[in-house]
Amino acid sequence: MKFNFAFLFLLILNVAFAQDDLLSELESQASDINTEVVGMFKGTRLINGHTVKTKGRGELDMIISHRFGTISSGPYELFGLDNASMRIGFDYGITDKLNVGIGRSSNDKIYDGFIKYNLLSQETGNGGNPFSMTLLAGITEKTTPRLRDFPEFTFVNRIGYSGSIMIARKFGDMFSLQMNPIWVHKNRVTAPETNNAFGVGTGFRVKLTRSLTLNGEYYARLNQRNMDGVYDAISLGFDIETGGHVFQLHLTNSAGMIDRVFLTETYGNWLKGDIYFGFNISRTFQLIK
């Protein structure tokens, strides 16, 4: 009888240790599986600038952006609501990682185009990518002043280029942070502005509810800081997601909605009330199943 009890006790211990070893092995294998982190940002735009997010293959994203006048314009202009500028644009996913886009802004009648590629996606698991990285290259054509009024402003003079490397990381379920060095080139400028402008953008997203987030964005100029009346672009806002739509409401000191403008032509001063209320509306259409 004693022998049977001892044998049974050893058998139970052996099974228990075997289960622990099996669970440890399964946990180790699970931690080695890399899974892409989702929900870093709700849309391809944070406020004015791009995010690391790209549209999926066959997705067409229509983005309508509005900026009203400055709040400092007073009650006669209904604190800016009597005036507005807008941009309408279309982003398309050639693949899940490669996007192209076009747009047109009423501010300075600017046409813009870009190509965007998601180089890395943040992943969970041992050995997964610790952050996401997306590359962006753009081109713009400013059509004001009109060619017939100022023939010396040639087509080539009006062209601008831009490039950016966006690096972002999601910390837990609530907070995402992005940083991106940015470069803007204009073929023709007037002194003291230089042809090349460099800056660093910083943005964050805080999840408040399942469909509501708080966003912030700051673009600091690294050069051209001696230009009077030009300021760093600072923006705050909220994202509201409703099915296939994303509504973005924000306050910003930049009337521009593309990198050429918000990096080099932000004329609003927050301290003087030069703040624009604006919104972006994004609607995605699935063209390819």
Residue 1: pLDDT over 80: no
The reply to whether omega before 145 is within 30° of 0 (cis) is yes
Portion of the chain with pLDDT greater than 90, in percent: 66
State the burial class of residue 104 (Cβ atoms within 10 Å of its Cβ: 0-12, 13-18, 19+): middle
Instruction: Among 26-30, 149-153, 195-199, name the most confident range.
Output: 195-199
Q: What is the pLDDT, as a whole number, of residue 125?
A: 80
- Alpha-carbon distance 223 to 280, whole Å? 29
Average pLDDT, the chain: 88
Q: What are phi and psi of 268, to 5 degrees?
A: -85, 140
Name residues whose C-beta falls within 8 Å of residue 266's C-beta, 6 or more positions apart in sequence. 219, 230, 231, 232, 233, 253, 254, 255, 256
**Confidence band (pLDDT; 50, 70, 90) for 199?**
very high
Q: What is the tens place of the pLDDT at every residue in 152-190?
A: 899 999 999 999 999 999 999 999 999 999 999 999 998
- Alpha-carbon distance 135 to 117, whole Å? 5
Q: What is the tens place of the pLDDT at every residue in 80-124?
A: 888 889 999 999 999 999 999 999 999 899 999 999 999 999 998
Q: What is the tens place of the pLDDT at every residue in 48-57?
A: 999 999 999 9
Q: What is the tens place of the pLDDT at every residue in 224-271?
A: 888 889 999 999 999 998 876 889 999 999 999 999 999 999 999 999
Give the residue-averaged pLDDT of 194-201. 96
C-alpha dihedral sign at 189, 190, 194, 198: negative
**Confidence band (pLDDT; 50, 70, 90) for 4?**
low
Give the residue-averaged pLDDT of 42-70. 94
pTM metric for this prediction: 0.85
Domain 47-286 falls in which CATH fold?
Answer: Porin (2.40.160)
Q: What is the pLDDT, as a whole number, of residue 15?
A: 44
Q: What is the pLDDT, as a whole number, of residue 226?
A: 86
Distances (CA, A) of 73 to 61, 78, 83, 272: 33, 8, 10, 11
- Report yes or no: 256 and 221 within 8 Å, Cβ to Cβ: no
Q: What is the pLDDT, as a whole number, of residue 154?
A: 93
Helices (H), 172-284: 259-264
